[in-house]
A and B are shown apart, each in its own frame.
Chain A
């Protein structure tokens, strides 16, 4: 069965510092992996996704993530944090059983300090 674990429910970084949000997954089949961002009282917006091919994927707002099969990880990074990056971030893995369902992690709230 598929599962997702996000390490750290809250992460604080200084403006201009590296952002690293951790996501580990468990899947019995080759996974499709996603990162979504949620701003307060809003829906989720797709940041980036890995399906097949290149393991380093780039998304919107300068974020990127690397799929590491050996470590079952899909960590999200950004070289330099901006105040506008403050939000909640969710990692998700698809349940590739034909139902288009995802399993979401519990989320990581990113705080950016001035």
Chain B
């Protein structure tokens, strides 16, 4: 079955470390997105990519970086510059009519700073 796989499900980061969250999809979707979820704040867009080798900053890109070398993959790196990284991170994808058909979401990665 097609879908989005996020790994790991839980991730612990020490202060000053960079960590990378994986997101892989086999839906043949062109567009992929990263959202951060904090209690009471809904979903906030970090980065998105509409095609391979191209991506745009979202509303809260500071302290994060991404790459899109393959259509199927859109990893997110949380750098040491992100001062408050503890959150639930969600990856999503859509076809080129994403605004019409909606997103498919992964099951999320919960990142905790220790």
Contacts and interface: CB of A to CB of B under 8 A. Distances in A.
Interface residues of B, number: 32
Given A42-B108, A90-B43, A107-B42, A99 B103 contact: no
A44 interface: yes
Contact of B105 (A45, A95, A100): A45
Given A41-B108, A99-B48, A99-B50, A34 B42 contact: no
B42 A49 contact: no
A53 interface: no
Contacts of A107: 40, 42
Interface string B8-31: 000000000000000000000001
A100 B50 contact: yes
Contacts of B90: 43-44
A73 interface: no
Contacts of B102: 34, 46, 49
Interface string A80-114: 00000000001000111001111011110000000
A94 B106 CA distance: 19
Contacts of B88: 41
